[in-house]
């Protein structure tokens, strides 16, 4: 401990008790004179402890050990006090002559030398262990060559690199190494060794192939140095072998990949983690019009015009951090003044702990495709416009067909014909009113209203199959005649369904449903299918109210017209029974 001293070794005469355990961690503050005396390089000699002052701390310490006389000699290593050698007399007082004190001082010097030697040996051993661990960790096989005898001491790992034990390689000479080394590499290795022995280079280094015991080739990194000289001539050379077969394989694989990249038709760029360009293949340099020398070592964001816009640069960087790759299409202006479009992929390369080491950029020239896309886009717009016109034309034809079919009814009954025209606008007005109801905002849109407007004109088309004698009869119909009249819903459905099968328009399908179901009742007592509530199509429910309203307001051979107010009251009275309550409410809001 700092500021203390302890007894580390003790020899006692027979019959004298040991005190080493009592002399541990003695504070130097309690014996300052003793400590300072030794720091000055002087011995402390007390012939008679009892003659010291009673209050003296040294006397108290020595008397507790029954010491009568004391001689302590300081011990220095490299001018630093590290301890002292002490001689105690406990059975009697003891005087030491000058000769004895001198002799004991010489003895202390011998002990110091011994301690220094022990420390040095421990340090050497520690260093040797460290070197052995380093050699083992580095997977090195060592050799030591006596140049005068050509004797070479190989270690087991050296022999293991080529698949042998040390015993199998006896005798261990330079010839052992020569016999295992590839003849094509041997001369180069010899020349490098000769240059080191002759002092041209201070160390030897060479890479060559050796033949493994099982026949395959082992790549060796060999390095060494002259460590001993005799009569100024190299005597001992020390070195080590490193098996770099795997490294050579990786290098060869890397060279193959580089060749593949060089000859790849795909443009490839590699940068370091800071965006400085490390590699660009010929396809890339040809594509952007810059040489490899112009690119290598340059900042990719400064060299590549398409990456120079700050907004684009930030967006690319942010996506790389989040997804580790970025894909996009970018325009650029080349060195020759031309403008091109590139498809660009940028990917991060990370090490085993996830730290980014490189970026790989893969680029394709898509200028021709972009031009084609522009032309295709224009052609697509032209075709869309043509299609729109054709659809309008088809709609016009279909609408004309619908009106023409509606006129068939008009030919049978002029009043009914005018009825057809009125219900179209009445249905549209009622549908627009329904839009104010949140319940129908999604279903009753502009397309719904347009389809209803045209399809409603055909709701009574089935009457063309009812004879004039029944259709235009001025008096009350018999039950048989009324049953025939009711069949106009089914006749209309069949006529319009047949048309719908041969028409791409949905208006005929809608018209067929309206024709069949506009006489269904909300409470399920209508005809022809006795549908109820919302199982009746909404367009047919609207048509049902409008049809009754216009029929009541019109004169017929068998009845007179009814006033608007009375008609509204009659329809309102049937809300929830004959008519959909929501549709009646929509009518009342615009009556």
Most confident of 76-80, 106-110, 328-332: 106-110
- The pLDDT score that the predictor gives to residue 312 is 72
Residue 141 Cα to chain centre, angstroms: 42
Counting residues of the chain whose pLDDT is more than 70, the rounded percentage is 93
Tokens at 148, concatenated: 């005068």
Most confident of 133-147, 209-223, 369-383: 209-223
184-195: average pLDDT: 93
Q: Which long-range contacts (CB under 8 A, 24 or more apart) does 339-348 make?
A: 339/367, 340/365, 340/367, 341/365, 341/366, 341/367, 341/369, 341/370, 342/287, 342/306, 342/366, 344/306, 346/316, 346/320, 348/320, 348/324
For residues 539 and 529, what is the distance between their CA atoms, to the nearest angstrom? 16
Strand 339-350 to 26-27 pairing: unpaired
Summarised one tens digit per residue, pLDDT across range 391-447 is 666 665 566 666 666 665 655 554 555 777 888 999 999 999 999 898 998 899 999
Nearest alpha-carbon partner for 521 in 452, 580, 440: 580
| 199 Rama class: left (phi>0) / alpha (psi -120 to 50) / beta | left
Strand 356-365 to 267-272 pairing: antiparallel
Tokens at 269, concatenated: 């760029």
Summarised one tens digit per residue, pLDDT across range 525-562 is 999 999 999 999 999 999 999 999 998 998 876 678 99
Higher pLDDT, 211 or 307: 211
For residues 123 and 118, what is the distance between their CA atoms, to the nearest angstrom? 8
Asked if pLDDT for residue 234 goes beyond 60, the answer is: yes
- The pLDDT score that the predictor gives to residue 373 is 84
Summarised one tens digit per residue, pLDDT across range 490-515 is 998 998 888 888 765 678 889 899 99
φ, ψ of residue 271 in degrees (nearest 5): -120, 165
Higher pLDDT, 333 or 511: 511
Q: Are 553 and 564 in contact (CB under 8 A)?
A: yes
- The pLDDT score that the predictor gives to residue 407 is 61
- The pLDDT score that the predictor gives to residue 397 is 59
Counting residues of the chain whose pLDDT is more than 90, the rounded percentage is 46
The beta strand positions in 409-453, using DSSP E, are none
Asked if pLDDT for residue 10 goes beyond 60, the answer is: yes
- The pLDDT score that the predictor gives to residue 404 is 62
Averaged confidence pLDDT in the chain = 87
């Amino acid at each position: 401990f700092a500021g203390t001293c302890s007894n580390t070794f003790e020899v006692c005469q027979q019959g004298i008790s040991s005190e080493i355990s009592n002399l541990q961690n003695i504070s130097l503050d309690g014996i300052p004179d003793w400590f300072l005396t030794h720091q000055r390089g002087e011995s402390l000699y007390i012939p008679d402890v009892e003659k010291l002052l009673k209050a003296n701390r040294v006397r108290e310490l020595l008397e507790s050990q029954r010491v009568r006389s004391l001689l302590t000699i300081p011990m220095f290593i490299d001018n630093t006090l590290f301890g002292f050698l002490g001689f105690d007399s406990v059975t009697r007082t003891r005087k030491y002559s000058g000769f004895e004190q001198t002799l004991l001082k010489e003895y202390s010097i011998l002990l110091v030398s011994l301690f220094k030697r022990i420390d040095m040996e421990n340090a050497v051993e520690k260093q040797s262990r460290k070197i052995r661990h380093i050699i083992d960790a580095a997977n090195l096989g060592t050799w030591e060559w006596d140049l005068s005898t050509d004797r070479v001491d190989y270690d087991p790992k050296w022999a293991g690199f080529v698949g042998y034990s040390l015993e199998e390689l006896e005798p261990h000479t330079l010839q052992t190494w020569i016999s295992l080394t590839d003849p094509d590499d041997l001369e180069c290795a010899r020349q490098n060794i000769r240059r080191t022995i002759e002092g041209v280079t201070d160390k030897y280094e060479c890479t060559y192939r050796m033949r493994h015991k099982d026949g395959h080739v082992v790549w060796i990194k060999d390095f060494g140095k002259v460590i001993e000289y005799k009569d100024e001539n190299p005597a001992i050379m020390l070195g080590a072998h490193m098996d770099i077969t795997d490294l050579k394989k990786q290098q060869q694989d890397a060279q193959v990949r580089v060749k593949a990249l060089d000859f790849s038709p795909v443009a490839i760029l590699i940068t370091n983690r800071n965006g400085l360009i490390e590699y660009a293949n010929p396809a890339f340099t040809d594509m952007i019009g810059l040489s490899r020398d112009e690119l290598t070592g340059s900042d990719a964001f400064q060299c590549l015009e398409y990456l120079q816009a700050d907004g684009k640069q930030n967006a690319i960087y942010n996506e790389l951090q989040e997804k580790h790759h970025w894909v996009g299409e970018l325009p650029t202006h080349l060195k020759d003044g031309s403008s091109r479009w590139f498809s660009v992929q940028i990917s991060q390369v990370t090490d085993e702990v996830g730290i980014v080491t490189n970026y790989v950029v893969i680029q394709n020239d898509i200028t021709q495709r972009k031009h084609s896309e522009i032309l295709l886009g224009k052609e697509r717009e032209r075709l869309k416009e043509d299609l729109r016109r054709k659809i309008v034309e088809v709609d016009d034809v279909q609408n004309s067909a619908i009106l023409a079919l509606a006129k068939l009814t008009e030919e049978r009954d002029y009043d009914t014909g005018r009825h057809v025209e009125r219900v179209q606008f009445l249905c549209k007005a009622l549908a627009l009113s329904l839009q104010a109801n949140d319940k129908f905002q999604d279903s009753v849109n502009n397309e719904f209203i347009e389809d209803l407007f045209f399809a409603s004109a055909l709701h009574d088309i089935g009457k063309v199959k009812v004879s004039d004698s029944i259709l235009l009869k001025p008096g009350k119909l018999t039950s048989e005649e009324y049953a025939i009249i009711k069949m106009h819903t089914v006749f209309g459905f069949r006529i319009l369904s047949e048309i719908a099968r041969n028409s791409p328009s949905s208006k005929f399908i809608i018209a067929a449903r309206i024709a069949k179901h506009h006489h269904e009742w909300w409470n399920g007592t209508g005809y022809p299918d006795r549908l109820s509530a919302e199982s009746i199509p909404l367009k047919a429910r609207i048509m049902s109210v409008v049809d009754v309203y216009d029929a009541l307001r019109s004169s017929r051979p068998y009845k007179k017209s009814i006033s608007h107010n009375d008609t509204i009251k009659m329809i309102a009275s049937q809300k929830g029974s004959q008519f959909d309550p929501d549709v009646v409410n929509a009518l009342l809001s615009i009556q």
